[in-house]
Amino acid sequence: MFCFQCQEAAKGTGCTIQGVCGKTSDVANLQDLLLYTVKGISIYSVKARELGVTDSASEQFIIKSLFATITNANFDRDGFIARVREGIVIRDGWKKRLAGSLADVPLAGHDAGLWTPGTDEVLEAKAAAVGVLATGNEDVRSLRELLTYGLKGMAAYMEHAAVLGYDEAGAQAFLERGLAATLNDELTADELVGLVMECGKYGVDVMALLDRANTETYGNPEITKVNIGVGDRPGILISGHDLKDMEELLKQTEGTGVDVYTHSEMLPAHYYPAFKKYSHFVGNYGNAWWKQNEEFASFNGPILMTTNCVVPPKDSYKDRLYTTGNTGYPGIKHIADGKDGAPKDFSAIIEQAKTCASPTGIESGEIVGGFAHAAVMGVADQVVDAVKTGAIKRFFVMAGCDGRMKSRNYYTDFAQALPSDTVILTAGCAKYKYNKLDLGDIGGIPRVLDAGQCNDSYSLAVIALKLKEVFGLEDINDLPISYNIAWYEQKAVIVLLALLYLGVKNIHLGPTLPAFLSPNVAKVLVDTFGIGGITTVDEDMERFLSVV
Ligand code: FSO
Ligand code: SF4
């Protein structure tokens, strides 16, 4: 195996024996093969689209496969073998449909479009040969992987929008075009850079699409106080990002005597009007994804993982853990999709919850959030006044991810060291590094404004663009906003590319720069966009605050 797609890549270069995330070598290889398979499908689906032919089963397969290979989403070896076989059937179906035009298909001679799986042994031997290192030139490899990871992040957000009935042909077309491009040895580095930037454009589009899907379905997030204590009834803990699962779980648990709590990235569900009406939707339990080993143990009830990040489970709660959607883990019960659009059946989880003790309290009190674009625009006058009077000197976008590395304590220290006339804008699980600190408020505006999940970083961009308009500025970079972003997995890659597409410069990325950026590709990002890493809190603070 060789995997360097996330921030925790071993030694800052790549995992080679087993993933720091817990991914085994065989699963890592099978994920590479699944990617190779969807790239093979894309060779043909791109041509078919040019001829006006699309296929929603093929589109869904591509999206779900990309999502399943994101860090910490799916560890299910057998599931990946089955997906690869299914993908080959889809690919070969395209070949039949394009029989008359195969000669015009660019890359038709590429192995990704031709190979056949045979036995599981043959398939696994293939899996070991098609990974990241199959591309020899390190800059081409770096650009291909940067593009692939951006596409994975895009696919995750497209999937969340799709389950709510929202999709966009342009993004899907780019997804497939981008995947096929990573197989093309003829492309120059400049052309690959162009595709990476284009990926950022589609990143903005799919985050806007998901924002529309979420807000039109569940209402605009509202400024909300969320309980972080526990009640005395048994509960179900729901984690991940899928709001449709959230909705169905709340509906099915109503009146059963079982409460529902959120964990990690599901916390922002509390901000949506559609979910507030459920009195058994009690609060948020615990912190970011990486603390799940201890927090799932003390929760006492069943836990539903709707998306990444899944940590290899401990025996203490294995029999209470469920996966659904694109998540999976060997030996862990999986809740299947409903048939023909019917809701998923969560009855097994609910029945188990009834036999469990209520959660053990680990915290008490409340945290506040729900500062997505509509809520912030609702108090825009107050915010603009505070900036004009100098009560707010600078905003710090500290969106992104949390993770287990000790070096991430930097973000807690940084938040604490920020002067009291600054405001943190956050989204994603990065917030858990400072959302329980008492940082106070500025004239009633809290100093930590949480917009929601990582995809709600889009909201932060909308807020920045609105402020630019209100202040009559030419350039988004003239706003008093600094970007100190923490990343972990590939959804953060698409968020970053989207911000670059919107023209945001001088983003600082930590706790380390991606292992998949070769020195030359990193230089392009530094020279063109002023991307930088982090150093110490003191040094960085001085640098950020000296900008005028
Ligand atoms: Fe976090 Fe995990 Fe949301 Fe990621 S829970 S790390 S960027 O999946 O997607 O923020
Ligand atoms: Fe390593 Fe991250 Fe890849 Fe897991 S996802 S194998 S931790 S680089």
In a 13 Å sphere around the CA of 407, the CA atoms on its Cβ side amount to: 15
Q: Which of 159, 237, 239, 241 to mutate to test the pocket of ligand 1 (most atoms within 8 A of CB)?
A: 241
> Which atom of ligand 1 lies at the shortest distance from residue 156's CA?
9
Q: How far is the CA of 543 from the centre of ligand 1 (A)?
A: 28
State yes or no: 241 annotated in a binding site.
Answer: yes
With 90 as the cut, is the pLDDT of residue 341 above it?
no
pLDDT at res. 523: 97
With contact defined as beta carbons under 8 Å apart, do 270 and 322 qualify? no
Q: Which ligand is nearest to the CA of 401?
A: 1
Q: How far is the CA of 460 from the centre of ligand 1 (A)?
A: 16
pLDDT tens string 223-261 = 999 999 999 999 999 999 999 999 999 999 999 999 999
With 70 as the cut, is the pLDDT of residue 526 above it?
yes
Q: Which of 21, 243, 264, 401 to mutate to test the pocket of ligand 1 (most atoms within 8 A of CB)?
A: 401
Given CA atoms 365, 367, 368, 370 in this order, what sign does their dihedral have? negative
Instruction: Band the pLDDT of 547: cuts 50, 70, 90.
Output: confident
Which token pair is 250?
A: 């709340």
480 cis-preceded (ω within 30 degrees of 0): no
Architecture of the structural domain at 370-545: 3-Layer(aba) Sandwich (3.40)
Given CA atoms 366, 303, 338, 94 in this order, what sign does their dihedral have? positive
Each domain of the chain, given as residue ranges in start order, spans 10-217, 224-354, 370-545
Residue with tokens 């949506």: 272
Please name the residue whose Cα sits nearest to atom 2 of ligand 2. Answer: 6
Ligand 2 neighbourhood includes 152 CB (under 6 angstroms):
no
> Which atom of ligand 1 lies at the shortest distance from residue 495's CA?
7
Q: How far is the CA of 319 from the centre of ligand 1 (A)?
A: 24
Establish whether this prediction's ipTM goes over 0.90. yes
With contact defined as beta carbons under 8 Å apart, do 141 and 132 qualify? yes
Chain mean pLDDT for the chain: 97
pLDDT tens string 432-480 = 999 999 999 999 999 999 999 999 999 999 999 999 999 999 999 999 9
> Which atom of ligand 2 lies at the shortest distance from residue 7's CA?
2
pLDDT at res. 53: 97
Please name the residue whose Cα sits nearest to atom 6 of ligand 1. Answer: 401
Ligand 2 neighbourhood includes 510 CB (under 6 angstroms):
no
Which residues does a 6 A CB cutoff place in the pocket of ligand 1? 241, 264-265, 289, 308-309, 401, 428-429, 453-454, 488-489, 491-492
Fold classification of 10-217 (topology level): Substrate Binding Domain Of Dnak; Chain:A; Domain 2 (1.20.1270)
Q: Which ligand is nearest to the CA of 157?
A: 1
21 cis-preceded (ω within 30 degrees of 0): no
> Which atom of ligand 1 lies at the shortest distance from residue 487's CA?
7
Q: How far is the CA of 15 from the centre of ligand 2 (A)?
A: 6
Are 10-217 and 370-545 in the same CATH fold?
A: no
pLDDT tens string 348-374 = 999 999 999 999 999 999 999 999 999
Q: How far is the CA of 426 from the centre of ligand 1 (A)?
A: 13
Cα angle 32, 164, 259 (rounded to 5 degrees) comes to 95
Give, to the nearest 10 degrees, the angle between helix 138-162 and helix 169-181.
160
Q: How far is the CA of 454 from the centre of ligand 1 (A)?
A: 6
State yes or no: 491 annotated in a binding site.
Answer: yes
State yes or no: 199 annotated in a binding site.
Answer: no
Q: Which ligand is nearest to the CA of 7?
A: 2
State yes or no: 401 annotated in a binding site.
Answer: yes
pLDDT at res. 548: 62
pLDDT tens string 56-111 = 999 999 999 999 999 999 999 999 999 999 999 999 999 999 999 999 999 999 99
State yes or no: 121 annotated in a binding site.
Answer: no
For residue 300, which of 230, 222, 356 has the smallest C-alpha distance? 356
Q: Which ligand is nearest to the CA of 516?
A: 2
Fold classification of 224-354 (topology level): Rossmann fold (3.40.50)
pLDDT tens string 96-133 = 999 999 999 999 999 999 999 999 999 999 999 999 99
Q: Which ligand is nearest to the CA of 265?
A: 1
Residue with tokens 């029999």: 319
Helix (H) or strand (E) segment spanning residue 376? helix 373-378
Q: How far is the CA of 372 from the centre of ligand 1 (A)?
A: 18
Q: How far is the CA of 488 from the centre of ligand 2 (A)?
A: 10
Ligand 2 neighbourhood includes 487 CB (under 6 angstroms):
no
